[in-house]
Structure formats: C-alpha cells, structure tokens
Structure 1
Amino acid sequence: MGCHVWTGWHALPEAARGGTVALGNLDGVHAGHRAVLAAAHAARPDLPLAALTFEPHPREHFRPEDPPFRLTLLPAKARALADAGCAHVHAVPFDAALAAMEAEAFCDVVLHGALGARHLACGADFAFGHRRGGDAAFLARWAEARGIGVTIVPHLSDSAGPISSTRIRRALQDGYPERAAALLGRDWEVRGEVFHGDRLGRELGWPTANIWLGRHLEPARGVYAVFASLADGSVVPGVANVGRRPTLGGDPQTRLETHLFDWSGDLYGQEVGIRLHRFLRQDATFDGLDALKAAIAADAVQARAVLGA
C-alpha cells in the first residue's frame, strides 16, 4: 500500500478522509517533523496516518522575490513522508484564498469538513490561518470542542538546541552537510533533471551530470563528496561542484555538476538525486583550464578517500 499525494482538498474520496493528521510545512521532513508524525500515529494507531502541508511553502507565496530556500520540493517531501509511515499526503495549495482564510474557517472547512480529521498533531510552534491567527493552543481548543483528539508535540532538541528547518539551512549554507544530515537523519539531497551542458567536463576528462538548483536552497558554493541516486535505483559515489563556474565566465544560475566515479552512461533528461555528504573546499577561480583540471583531479582523490570509493 503506497502513499497517496492529494494536491487539492475539495471532494476527497472517503479513503483519504478520517485519519490522524500531522500538520506543518514539514520542509525537510527532519527528525523533529518525524516526532510529530510518530506522535500522531501513536495516538491513534487504528487510523491511517496523513500529513497536511502547504504547496508552495507560504513564504514562497508571500515573498516570491526571496532567494530559494526549500530543503525538499513536493516529490521528495512526499517520499520522505511515505518513508515515515504516511498513507496520505495533503499538499494543500497555498494561494491568496487560503492565505485570507481565518484560522477557525481553516479548521472547520479544511480539517473537519474536507479531511474529516479524527486526530490532529502539530509542533508547539505551529501557526496557521489569516495573519497566522491560529496557533497550537487555538487548535487544541477548537479540536476539543468538536471531540477531535489533538497532540501538541514539544520541540525535539539536541545539544545545540531545537531541531528546525532553519538550523538545517544554516548548516548547509555554512558548508556543514554532515551537521544537516544529523538533523535530517539522512544526507541532504537535491533532485533535478540532467541537462545538456557545454560538454567541457568531457573534454577535460571529467564528464559531469548537470542539474540546476532551481527552487532548492543554495548550499555553500564549492566542492563536495557526494552520492548520486540514479533513476534505476543505483547509488554511485562522486565529486560535485556547486557554483556558477567563475573560471568559465560565470553562469546566471547556480548549477550542481557531478562527476560519477567508475561509471559511464547517458543521464540526459533523467532525474537524479545528488546527496551532499562532505564539503571539501570553497569555490575558486583558476588561472586557465590546466589549473582547473589539476584541481578537479585532486578533488576526486579527496572525495574517493572520504567516501571510501
């Protein structure tokens, strides 16, 4: 039995209603989010487990000019939620109408009317509704008045404080993917479709699979030891660069270029996932292609050592 993703909340079939529902943006589906899912399931193990999240992320709706910041886009988020036991993912479209909906109406119309939720769970800092007018305490009062169970889950913390998407973003931007992985419970992954580059990597002797970061957060620019997750299910070690190729005149967008170790084949047009495992060095500008070539060779040696490849 797989996980079903619902991208609208109107006229849901009976099978998608009546579950225990974990609420939140759930960007990253990190250890704290999984604690909310576990609490929702533990409260009513007899009911199907569902997650309600928003697409786009409310911040993307309200501040479209902000730099991209997402840890997980919907397909990756849904996969992580399925892995955490969700039978249903409700990706509620976050638009002007939803943004204007008062907290009580959201509870009445979406949670009760559309989803028929029988138990709700959220983190202690969950806020929702017009101008974030509803919080966890409001949700608890509303649910209790309707005989719906509710679990408010306190922050999951480690020695450095509460685990949050913000902390994970900062770790990635500072060049510490292993710190992000500790909070996520897995290496952070960027998924995208491989596009045709200018084939320069091939000419240099280091063919690369290129993907744009798109709406993903931009991590620290530079070189990483990575694992590539391919469409056929295989996982291949490699070395990757996040940046705008300063030695080659610069790109308008940030790309992730990955050289796969001991692998050959055509990935153009396929979706790949690149898992950032360790940051090796900052982006640099080299004096010509020979210097660039030598640097890539040294990076590859270091990445193989780190990955045990």
Structure 2
Amino acid sequence: MVEIVTDWRGLPEGLKGAAVAIGAFDGVHRGHRAVIERARAAAERLEAPLGVVSFDPHPRRWFQPSAAPFRLMTPTQMARALAPLGVERLYLLPFDAEMAAMSDEAFARQVLAGGLGIQHAAVGFDFTYGKDRTGSPEGLRRHGEALGFSVDVTSRIDDADGLKLSSSAVREALKAGDMARTAAILGRPFAIEGEVVHGDKRGRTIGVPTANVRMGDYMRPAYGVYATRSRLPDGRVVDGVANLGLRPMYALDEPLLEVWLFDFDGDIYGQTIETELVAFLRGEMAFDGLDALRIQIDADAAAARAALTRPQPILS
C-alpha cells in the first residue's frame, strides 16, 4: 500500500530522504512509468524509499479555475496505480498560493531539499516548475548539486509503433472514443471512480437498474454507450454496459455514468465503485419511448458481452 503524505511542511524525519519522481502524473501512463523507473533505480542504489511527488489540485486547475474538467484519475486511483511500481510514498503536495508563488530555486530549496529532504529526483524531459514555469530539468540539476540531491532526466519515450505516450494523448483518445488507443497509452483501460448516487430510477421500470456515478472533474470521454468492468466495494469485478453523457431522451443537467451491472442484485448506494470503459459501442441516441429504449439496451448489452469476451486487461 502506498502511503499518502499531504504536505511538505513539518514532516518527521521518517518521511524524508526518499528518491522521488516529480510531476503531475495524471493517468500514471507508460511515459510516466519510465520516469518512476529511473527514480526506482536510484532508490535501490541509495537504499532509500521510493516516492512520487505530485500536486493537488492539479496546477492547471489552480491557474485555470474555469477550465473544463480534465483529470484522468483521482488521488486514490493514482496511489493504487503507483503501488505495483514499487512506490512507497505519494507526496501529494497542496498546490496553493504559496506553492504557486515560489521561484524554481525556492521550490528546490524549501520543498524538495528542506521539506522532503530528498536524496534524488527523477523528472521528464518536459518538466517545468516554479513561478512562471521558469524551472527546467537542467536548472533542477544545478539546484540539486547545490542542495545535496542528484537529478536525472528521462527523454521522451514513444511506443515502438510511434504512439505518443502523454496525458494529452490520452485525452485525445478519450474524446474520440478510442478506448484501445487509450488503454495502449495508459497500459490499462481508463476508469472512473466515484460514489453511487440515486438517479431517477427509470431503468428499474424496464428491468435495467443502474449504478450512477457523477463525473466530477474527470475528463469527459466521448458521450455514448460503453462495455464496462466495475470493481465493487467487496472486490468483485462485474461486467456491464453503461451510458455516459447527458442522456438526450431524459436530459440531465450534468453528465452521468449509468452502469448496468450484469447478473448483479445488490444495494451499493453511497458506496464507491470503479468502472473501466473497455470499449465504445455507440454514441448517445434519443428514442420514441421506453419500449424502443429497452430494445436498444438489450442490443447494447449483447454487444458489450461480446466485446468483453475479447482479451482485455481487468482491474487489479
């Protein structure tokens, strides 16, 4: 289990001294993992804990508070994705007015060297930091030499087939409903985690009860119907089919993920589930009535079951 540390100030000595990878790491995609691997190698060499330094909220949200939702994962999902990589600590630092005003030198001195007491930092080739993004990987290396920690920089890494491994590429693939490309970049299917909330319960009237999850600050993938796999609170993974969007037949004020869990009968209201969007089946449609909707749902369920029989990564 990854320990989550939510500040850099006043840490006990036992939480200092790690070799860390630094970045937003939204999505923890395959490119991010290359940076973390460099930190892991340093941690082994230095006999230090392996950590990841990230920020909450995402710096983009701080500087662009009215920006459209863009996040690819929650902090809980990030910690879960980091665990198999050997990460012991996630330093999820508050990106606040103090952090935003720091120069690159102040960030290196006060946060990395002073607050976290790091021994090593691994960053990506495009890493920037400090007020007005004046800090660069080369600048961090110079600061590290003066402050007592080493730095290495990971060059851009693309897939052997030329697939760009970046968070922006994930967002482009999600917008296009290209779930195979999304999973290829992430190294796993994109998943939405959230509390199951009450809906209008129309699905129950046609025998299709759904678990409804609000999208919050998640990036909005293509609206439509998906084949899904959901992890329930008890650890079970259940296949299903979901509508994601504004549901044109019964319009919503905000997008909602509505998941019909196959062969499941239970009460999970108020509990948290995580749902993988495994395959995009079709865009949103309007129907003449509930009978037409039910016929289409049956067709969608059959298509989802077929999609899910093909080899796919599952939640782990």
What is the TM-score normalised by the length of structure 1?
A: 0.97
Partner of 1:261: 262
1: CA distance, partners of 2:189 / 2:208: 24
Partner of 2:77: 76
2: CA distance, partners of 1:41 / 1:290: 56
Q: Note the C-alpha offset of 1:291.
A: 1.2
Correspondence list, 1:225-240, <5 A: 225-240=227-242
Partner of 2:186: 184
Partner of 2:29: 30
Partner of 1:85: 86
2: CA distance, partners of 1:85 / 1:114: 23
Runs of 4+ deviating beyond 3 Å: none
Deviates more, 1:271-280 or 1:42-51: 42-51
Partner of 2:15: 16
SS at the partner of 1:262?
coil
Partner of 2:6: 7
Query: Is the Cα–Cα contact under 8 Å of residues 243 and 283 in structure 1 kept in the other structure?
Result: yes
Query: Is the Cα–Cα contact under 8 Å of residues 52 and 92 in structure 1 kept in the other structure?
Result: yes
Query: Is the Cα–Cα contact under 8 Å of residues 163 and 185 in structure 2 kept in the other structure?
Result: no
Q: Note the C-alpha offset of 1:273.
A: 0.3
Partner of 1:244: 246
2: CA distance, partners of 1:79 / 1:53: 14
Q: Note the C-alpha offset of 1:254.
A: 0.3
SS at the partner of 2:86?
coil
Partner of 2:313: none
SS at the partner of 1:134?
coil
What is the TM-score normalised by the length of structure 2?
A: 0.95
Q: Note the C-alpha offset of 1:161.
A: 4.5
SS at the partner of 1:216?
coil
- Look up the equivalent residue of 1:34 and give its one-letter code: R
SS at the partner of 2:72?
coil
2: CA distance, partners of 1:106 / 1:226: 42
Q: Note the C-alpha offset of 1:82.
A: 2.0
Unmatched runs of 5 consecutive residues or more in structure 1: none
RMSD: 1.1
- Look up the equivalent residue of 2:136 and give its one-letter code: D
SS at the partner of 1:267?
coil
2: CA distance, partners of 1:266 / 1:140: 53
Partner of 2:286: 285
- Look up the equivalent residue of 1:101 and give its one-letter code: M
Partner of 1:112: 113
SS at the partner of 2:243?
strand
SS at the partner of 1:108?
helix
2: CA distance, partners of 1:44 / 1:29: 19
- Look up the equivalent residue of 1:65 and give its one-letter code: S
2: CA distance, partners of 1:33 / 1:53: 12
1: CA distance, partners of 2:111 / 2:41: 23
Q: Note the C-alpha offset of 1:83.
A: 2.4
Q: 1:178 to 1:161 in 2, by over 3 A?
A: closer
